Structure 1
Amino acid sequence: MAVAPTATRGGDTVTVICRMPSGIALDLYDEADLKARAASVAPVMNPPTPKETVRLRGARRDPRFHPKENVMLGMGGRTEVDASFWEAWTRQNANFRPLKSGLIFAAAKEADAVAKLAERGQHRTGLEGLDPKALQGVAPMDKDDD
C-alpha cells in the first residue's frame, strides 16, 4: 500500500528531505513476519513483502533544480510522510547509511526541514554529477568544418 503525499498539513505528517538525485522507495515490513522468517528452520527463499511503501522525491524534484544545469549541490526533494510510518521506518532501518549520513532526514514542519537542508546543503553527498570543465585531460570535441 503506497502512501501518497498529502496536500494539506496535519499534525500527523512530517516533511522528509531526500538529497539523493532520483529519490528512494522506503519499505516498511511487519516485524513479527521478519522475526518468524529469521527463526524458521528451513530457509525462506521468497523476499518479504512490505506492508507499506513510500516513494521519496529526490533532489531532481527540488523546485530550484534546472535540468540543463544539472546542479545537485544544495538540492533536496520534499515529501510529506505519515509521522507514524516515518518513526517505524527509522526504527527498523536505523543503520541505513543514507539515513545515518543525512542524505535522508525529516522535520515536523516544512520550514524546519528546508532550514536543515540549507544548513547541510553545501556538504557534498558524493552523488553529484562531475563538472566536465574541471576534468583533467578531457577536452570538448571540435566541430568539423565542412
Structure 2
Amino acid sequence: MTATPSRNGATVTVICRMPSGLVLELYDEGALQNPSKPGALPAVKGSVRLSGARHDPRFHKRDNIMLGMGGRTEVAADFWEAWTKQNAEFMPLKKGLIFAMPKEADAVSRLSELREERTGLEGLDKDKMPGVTPFAKEDF
C-alpha cells in the first residue's frame, strides 16, 4: 500500500536496501504516550510498503546479487517526515538502509554512491566461501 499524496501533493522517493522491503507504520503520538491498555499498540494512522532490493530493475533472481541494489517507492512527504521523526532510532534508518530524496534521480544517484557499501543482508558469494565446492553434474 502506498501512502496517499500529502496535502500539498509533495512526495519523496524512498530507497530501501533491505532485500524484501519493509512496512512503515505511523502511530498516533498521543496514543503512544498514553496507551489505553498496557502492552497494546495504538491504531495505525497510516502505512506504506516499501519495495526492497529485489524490486530493483537491475536485480536478477539467478545471480541474487544485492550489493548496490535498492527498491524505489514514492511516499507522501508529510508521511515520511512524521515516520522518520517517530522512528529516529530505528537502526535501518540510522544505518542508511532506508533513505529518501525529493527527486527519484537524486535517490538513484545516492544509491549508486552506496553501490560498494555492504549492508550485511547480502547473500554469501558461493565462489568465495572457503571449503565449499559445487557438485559436478556427474555427482548427481
Q: Is the CA contact 2:10–2:77 (under 8 Å) kept in the aligned structure 1?
A: yes
Give the CA deviation at 1:145: 6.4
- What is the alpha-carbon root mean square deviation over aligned residues? 2.0
Q: CA deviation at 1:120?
A: 1.4
Of structures 1 and 2, the larger Rg is shown by 1
Query: CA, structure 1 residues 5+142, in 2 after alignment: closer, same or farther (shift >3 Å)?
Result: farther
Stretches (4+) displaced over 2 A: 2-6, 45-49, 141-146
Shift of 1:51: 1.2
Gaps of 5+ in 2: none
Q: TM-score, normalised to structure 2's length?
A: 0.90
The residue correspondences of 1:1-146 to structure 2 (distance < 5 A) are 2-4=1-3, 12-37=10-35, 44-144=38-138
> Cα gap change, 1:145/1:35 in structure 2, threshold over 3 Å: closer, same or farther?
closer
Q: How many aligned positions are there?
A: 138
The code of the aligned residue for 1:34 comes to L
Structure 1: stretches of 5+ with no match in the other structure: none
Q: Please say if residues 3 and 47 of structure 2, whose CA atoms lie closer than 8 Å, have aligned partners that are also in contact.
A: no
SS at match of 1:105: strand
Give the residue type in structure 2 aligned to 1:139: T
- The 8 Å contact of residues 3 and 46 in structure 2, kept in 1 or not, is answered as no
Aligned residue for 1:48, secondary structure, equals coil
Conserved in 1, the CA contact under 8 Å of 2:50 and 2:71? yes
